[in-house]
Amino acid sequence: MVISTVALYFYVKQLMQREVEEELYSTRARVESSLRINKPPYSLPPVFEVEQVAQLGNEKVKDTIIYDPSQDEMEEFRELISYKSINGNYYRITVRNLIVESEDILIAIILSYMFIILLVFLIQFYFNRAKNKKLWDPFFRNLEAMKTFSLSSDTPIPLEKSGILEFNELNKEVTILTDKVRTDYKNLKQFTEDVSHELQTPLAIIQAKIENFINGDTLTEIQFDQLTSIQKDIQRLTQMNKRLTLLTKIENKQFVNLNQVNITGLIEETVQNFHEISSTEIEFSHRDKIRVKMDVHLAEVLCNNLISNAIKYSPQEGKIKVSAKGNSLTVSNKGAKALEHPELLYSRFYRESEAAKSTGLGLAIVKRICDYYGFKIGYHFEEGNHIFSITFK
Amino acid sequence: MKILIAEDEIALQQSIVTYLERDGNVCEVASDYGDAAYKVDLYDYDLILLDINLVTGSGLDVLKQLKKDKKETGVIIISANNSLDDKLDGLDLGADDYITKPFHLAELNSRIKAVLRRGKYGGDDTITFNEIKVDTKSRTAYIEGRALSLTRKEYDLLVFFMTNQGRVLSKEIIAEHLWGDNSDLADNFDFIYVHINNLRKKITAQGAKYIKTAYGSGYKFIAD
């Protein structure tokens, strides 16, 4: 741009100079011819001056600056001075022509250039914007569709077709990818469901056989202890199974019944139940009525898991505190130190300490239930207490 | 009592038969849907243990047929599926109880007796053992006519013992019967010991001592 401006500037300047010179020569020719036909020498300064001189000089063309009274400023002129002998007299003929100032040319060029650039830019801008908007529209709409894509959805991702090859290719790949992810996820869920389902019958057989064994011929005490220990493990397997199935069911959104559930009442009941089997003291203060719309069974599981988790991880002499305030439920139990990995707290089979016997699914279930109904669950460690709180909607 | 066990897993079916026959029940078995439907149609039973997932068909269809024929038979559904829907479907169709695999045979036995006790199957809502009599309708236990003051758990425990007479019951089975899924919470089963001891004292005070220790850590309810 700059180069072309400079080039144009010089070119125009050159062109105008030549034009001016041509004009100078033609004016001189006219003056000459008028002198030849013996017209008296006539001057029209500064355009041309004719003078009689003693001898001939060299012809020359140069720039000069002369005061122009009509404009009251110094003006640049191109000047042709030539000497001629006409009818025996020597004349000096000076012809001048006003030339356009080079700054003016430059400014004119720059201005027009700027105007053109601006115009082109504006047109391009609006044109491109309109065109891009139209061009990328399917892309952005598909992007929105991808954002709302859920792993567990039953329908494939709704992508829009467009006339653009690249986008269609992208759509194809995204569809293949999401379909694959969806099937894998479904298979995984199905697998969990199948495994827990299929495990139940063999477990039932083992359990039944052990029971018949215990009631059969006389056993030694050691044999009896071994057999009851197997029963305990079967029970653990059964529990794990039940919980995995429950998790899968929540993930499959199979709990659609909504009832008004009195959480505070449920907690009271749960605390009462646990009082019978655990020596850990449970203090239930602040019994604000919390009423929530949710599945009754899930509400029971929620309360049960929260409190049983607290009991499992509470030291023998530690007291468990439960309180229902406003619309949030808090359960806290004593602990030596804060959890090392609180981010793993709700993962399946995560146990902070191996000491506590648990399936490692209790809190994962609590979290799923909360996610399912949009409750907020939080954990923090404060003054030697692990504190879980659930804020209901 | 005449009981039909419709269960396609032969090992489980035979274990149930072994356990129930010891109480003097007459057990018949059906290993698939056709067999079960045929036997239900042909014979009368006091009770049917019905697996929902019979290889060749659904146990629920056998139940429907049974109700259509207006037979006075108690039905306990056995299922590997602990989904609530199945349970409700079964109970809606007229089953008396529902039990999920895996289960303890003592628990199953207890439920069978409970179903059979109900008036509509000719039972009389009472369990009697020597001088102990339990009225399951009013949930009261009597010794020689005098009512015992038992807590809820003590009452449940007594009924569980009485319906599984002569059987060795481990603490695990007892805990699961009384507290279900929460029984895994206890680090030891001392609390069972406490309950049993209390129960023992209450019935011993009236002149009975039937709860015996078996193999050091189990219990057995048996006459002296």
**d(C-alpha A110, C-alpha A274), whole Å:** 90
**d(C-alpha B12, C-alpha A202), whole Å:** 9
Tell me how close the Cα of B51 comes to any Cα of chain A, in angstroms. 11
User: Which two tokens mark B159?
Assistant: 């009924």
Whether B94 and B72 have beta carbons less than 8 Å apart is answered as no
State residue A253's pLDDT score. Answer: 79
**d(C-alpha B32, C-alpha B59), whole Å:** 9
Q: Establish if A218 touches chain B: CB-CB under 8 angstroms.
A: no
Which residue out of A276, A295, A305 would a mutagenesis test of the B interface target, given it has the greatest number of B Cβ atoms within 10 Å? A276
Whether A312 and A295 have beta carbons less than 8 Å apart is answered as no
Residues A145-198 pLDDT 10s: 888 887 777 788 888 888 889 889 999 999 999 989 888 988 888 888 788 778
Q: CB B19 to CB A249 under 8 A?
A: no
User: Which two tokens mark B67?
Assistant: 């109700």
State residue B120's pLDDT score. Answer: 63
* Identity of residue A386: H
Q: CB B168 to CB A276 under 8 A?
A: no
Choosing among 3.40.50.300, 1.20.1050.140, 3.40.50.880, 3.40.50.2300, the CATH entry for B2-121 is 3.40.50.2300
Residues B124-180 pLDDT 10s: 788 888 888 898 888 899 888 888 888 888 899 999 999 998 889 988 888 888 888
pTM attached to this predicted model: 0.69
* Identity of residue A22: E
Q: CB B101 to CB A221 under 8 A?
A: no
State residue A206's pLDDT score. Answer: 93
State residue A312's pLDDT score. Answer: 83
Q: Say yes or no to pLDDT of A220 above 80.
A: yes
- Name every residue whose Cβ is closer than 8 Å to that of residue A294 and which is 6 or more positions away in sequence: A258, A259, A261, A369, A373
Q: What is the ipTM of this complex?
A: 0.86
Residue A355 pLDDT level (bands cut at 50, 70, 90): low
Whether A171 and A142 have beta carbons less than 8 Å apart is answered as yes
Determine what percent of chain B is predicted with pLDDT higher than 90.
Answer: 27
State residue B84's pLDDT score. Answer: 63
- Name every residue whose Cβ is closer than 8 Å to that of residue A361 and which is 6 or more positions away in sequence: A240, A243, A244, A247, A348, A349
**d(C-alpha A332, C-alpha B136), whole Å:** 40
Q: Establish if B103 touches chain A: CB-CB under 8 angstroms.
A: yes
Q: Establish if A317 touches chain B: CB-CB under 8 angstroms.
A: no
State residue B11's pLDDT score. Answer: 93
- Mean pLDDT confidence for B61-87: 83
State residue B85's pLDDT score. Answer: 67
Residues A281-335 pLDDT 10s: 888 888 888 889 999 889 999 999 999 888 888 887 888 999 988 888 999 988 8
Q: Mean pLDDT over all residues of chain A?
A: 85
- Mean pLDDT confidence for A219-240: 88
Cβ-nearest to A277 among B80, B84, B183: B183
- Name every residue whose Cβ is closer than 8 Å to that of residue A20 and which is 6 or more positions away in sequence: A78, A97, A99
User: Which two tokens mark B191?
Assistant: 């609390």
Whether A280 and A311 have beta carbons less than 8 Å apart is answered as yes
Cβ-nearest to B185 among A201, A232, A274: A274
Cβ-nearest to B216 among A200, A212, A221: A221
Cβ-nearest to B182 among A200, A225, A273: A273
- Mean pLDDT confidence for A366-391: 90
Whether A264 and A328 have beta carbons less than 8 Å apart is answered as no
Q: CB B186 to CB A221 under 8 A?
A: no
CA distances from A234 to A207, A227, A228, A247 (A): 7, 11, 10, 20
Among the listed residues A214, A205, A236, the one whose alpha carbon sits nearest the alpha carbon of residue B217: A214
Q: Which residues of A touch B83 (CB under 8 A)?
A: 249, 254
* Residue bearing the bigger pLDDT, A126 or A309: A126
* Identity of residue A195: V
Residue A109 pLDDT level (bands cut at 50, 70, 90): confident
Coil, strand or helix: which one is A180? helix
* Residue bearing the bigger pLDDT, A295 or A276: A295
Among the listed residues B73, B126, A374, A76, the one whose alpha carbon sits nearest the alpha carbon of residue A390: A374
State residue B82's pLDDT score. Answer: 63
Give me the sheet containing A281-287, strands edge to edge: A281-287, A319-325, A328-334, A385-391, A376-382
Q: Of the ranges A21-30, A104-113, B112-121, which one carries the lowest mean pLDDT score? A: B112-121
Q: CB B84 to CB A308 under 8 A?
A: no
Q: CB A249 to CB B106 under 8 A?
A: no
State residue B186's pLDDT score. Answer: 62
State residue B13's pLDDT score. Answer: 94
Residues B48-58 pLDDT 10s: 999 988 888 88
Beta B168-169 vs B97-100: how paired, if at all?
unpaired
Q: CB A214 to CB B168 under 8 A?
A: yes
Q: Of the ranges A29-38, A117-126, B144-153, which one carries the lowest mean pLDDT score? A: A29-38
Q: Which fold has domain B126-221?
A: Arc Repressor Mutant, subunit A (1.10.10)
Cα three-residue angle A253-A259-A261, rounded to 5 degrees: 110
Determine what percent of chain A is predicted with pLDDT higher than 70.
Answer: 99
Q: CB B179 to CB A276 under 8 A?
A: yes
Where does chain B hold its CATH 1.10.10.10 domain(s)?
Answer: 126-221
Where does chain B hold its CATH 3.40.50.2300 domain(s)?
Answer: 2-121
Residues A232-264 pLDDT 10s: 888 888 888 888 888 888 887 778 888 898 999
Residues 15 to 34 of B: which have CB under 8 A from any A CB? 15-16, 18-19, 22
Cβ-nearest to B153 among A224, A249, A276: A276
State residue B111's pLDDT score. Answer: 92
Q: Of the ranges A258-272, B80-94, B127-141, which one carries the lowest mean pLDDT score? A: B80-94
Tell me how close the Cα of A158 comes to any Cα of chain B, in angstroms. 33
* Residue bearing the bigger pLDDT, B205 or A79: A79
Closest A-chain CA to B18: A212
Which residue out of A195, A198, A214, A222 would a mutagenesis test of the B interface target, given it has the greatest number of B Cβ atoms within 10 Å? A214
State residue A62 phi and psi, 5-degree precision: -150, 165
Q: Establish if B83 touches chain A: CB-CB under 8 angstroms.
A: yes
Torsion angle (degrees, nearest 10) of CA A298, A300, A301, A305: 140
Tell me how close the Cα of A386 comes to any Cα of chain B, in angstroms. 19
